[in-house]
Amino acid sequence: MTTSMRWADENDPVAGRMIFVSATAGIRDQDTLVSAWNLYQGGCLPQLRKRLDGHPQHRSRVRLVSAEYGLLHPDTSVPPPSIREMTEELAGQLRPQARTMLLEEFGRYGLPREVMLLVEFPYHHVVKDIFRLPGMTPRTSLGIPHPAEHWTLIAAVLDRWGWP
């Protein structure tokens, strides 16, 4: 771990946690910019959105993994995506940008102690390596490769975290 890295506050139920979710099934029939949070409809994002809407602090700890735009903060406004499919090759191309973005964020706010990867194959290739760097392994890391099929488990983790 670099000297500027520190763990997020252990007693903060929001800052110490982070969720990565696949950004799939984007709405393509819009002409305007829309937040990434509202643009994508696939995976478990509709359930997550229903649960975290109205809770911007919690939503700020979610990152969307998009084939079109890479790693996105939920409040980032983007145009509707094309029909670009995530591939292992594309995930490999997006990984350096995601790594840089996350290292900068973790340097400012601390490393999350608990992480949920709610990303289908091959989306997980964009972010999985960041937590394998020396000193950056979260205390708890849960990867769910088919999140839409396991919402009950995801909801149980959110409940344990004390999230809405």
Q: What is the CA radius of gyration of the chain?
A: 15
* pLDDT band, residue 147 (cuts 50/70/90): very high
For 28-46, the pLDDT digits (tens) are 677 789 899 998 988 999 9
Coil vs helix vs strand at 79: coil
In the chain the domains, ranked by start, together with CATH numbers, are 17-161 (3.40.220)
- With a pLDDT cut of 70, the percent of the chain lying above it is 96
